[in-house]
Amino acid sequence: MNEFDAVILGIIQGLTEFLPVSSSGHLELGKAILGDDSIPSESLLFTVVLHFATALSTIVVFRKDILEIFKGLFQFKWNEETQFSLKIILSMIPAALVGILFEDELEVLFGGSLLLVGFMLIITALLLWLADKAKNTEKPVSYRNAFVIGISQAIAILPGISRSGATISTSVLLGNDKAKAARFSFLMVVPLILGKIAKDILSGDLSESTTDSSILIIGFVAAFLAGLVACTWMIKLVKNSKLSYFAIYCLIVGIIAIGFGYAN
């Protein structure tokens, strides 16, 4: 992997983590298009670095919200911030269970299967189209909603299913306010990302990587900056009901991915 590959994959991760077009699916497509045989062997550490960069960009964008949540927790009061924190924890359970119980099976899916990515992108397109047609309401995210959204996040582990697209669409279809749906969707993934990073570090798998540190830094910076832009932009797009544009994009890319998959 060279510096150019690191920049491209970093930008792809930063943009697609927040835009509803599937970061995992686009990374698989990016690796296939770049055709660099070294990328798969270096994927674990590089992917961990990119995910940390996007988690950090989320923390920066929602720093005020996160501070309010921590204040509520440390005050030991049953207030809105405390309830929001519990809903975040509740939403994490499905994805955490799937990640722990089916880790080996999931790793097989991330082996460059463009056919799978293509079909999952088409499913993402359908979800986004349905959510874009839903009427906006003032309903907050309930505990039941939080768990259902968590299930959609667990399903979005599949490459090609957009995590943000699936969780925001599910939340909107449940009747939640679109702005609150986007906020919940972005904040609920931060603990999972940080937990996955901690697990990978403690497992010792990352110590086997020989990836050049400069490549990691370049990828991190690219993903972080792209993530800042995409996160801020996505909040505005959800509020203005512009998800149909991404539905069309996912449909087109999904068809292209299927075509590449059959060709290979």
pLDDT at site 40 = 45
pLDDT at site 150 = 94
Three-state SS at 176: strand
Q: Quote the DSSP letter at residue 139.
A: B
Select from 230, 238, 234 the least CA-distant residue to 178. 238
Q: Quote the DSSP letter at residue 110.
A: T
- pLDDT mean by block of 10 residues, the chain; 264 residues: 83 84 73 57 72 91 86 73 88 88 70 80 93 83 94 88 90 89 88 81 65 86 94 84 88 89 77
pLDDT at site 90 = 93
Rounded Cα gap, residues 162 and 23, in angstroms: 7
pLDDT at site 177 = 87
Is residue 128 within 8 A of residue 165, CB to CB? The reply is yes
Is residue 45 within 8 A of residue 211, CB to CB? The reply is yes
Rounded Cα gap, residues 223 and 15, in angstroms: 8
pLDDT at site 93 = 92
pLDDT at site 209 = 58
Structural domain boundaries of the chain? 3-263
Burial 234-250 (b: 16+ CB within 10 A, else e): bbebbeeeebeebbebb
Rounded Cα gap, residues 108 and 65, in angstroms: 37
How deeply is 193 buried, as exposed, middle or buried, from its count of CB atoms within 10 A (0-12, 13-18, 19+)?
middle
Three-state SS at 212: coil
